[in-house]
């Protein structure tokens, strides 16, 4: 494992130490956990963004859509015993 340094102002580090003491964790542990959570959240957001761009490109290339009425009818089945599968694109 490679060690890296994070530079921060004294006030921020003091806040980190205080929170660490309250949680019985080291400032180092809190920083690692914060970075891990940030990366998971941002990687998921990037995945969603890339998926959206791919879907938009597909729409621009094919013109395929799912009509509003079809989506509405599908959503009405959510949470019921007869929950329908996601509708597919139609030209």
Question: Inter-axis angle of helices 10-23 and 27-62, to 10 degrees?
Answer: 100
Q: pLDDT of 11-46, one tens digit each? A: 999 999 999 999 999 999 999 999 999 999 999 999
CB 62 within 8 A of CB 91: yes
pTM: 0.70
CA 58 to chain centre: 22
Helix (H), strand (E) counts: the chain:
3, 0
């Amino acid at each position: 494992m490679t060690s890296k340094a994070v530079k921060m102002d004294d006030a921020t580090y003091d806040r980190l130490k205080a929170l660490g003491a309250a949680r019985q964790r080291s400032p180092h542990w809190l920083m690692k956990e914060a970075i891990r959570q940030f990366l998971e959240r941002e990687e998921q957001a990037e995945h969603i963004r890339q998926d959206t761009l791919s879907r938009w490109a597909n729409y621009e290339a094919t013109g395929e859509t799912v009509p509003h009425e079809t989506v509405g009818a599908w959503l009405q089945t959510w949470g019921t015993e007869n929950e329908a599968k996601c509708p597919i694109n139609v030209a």
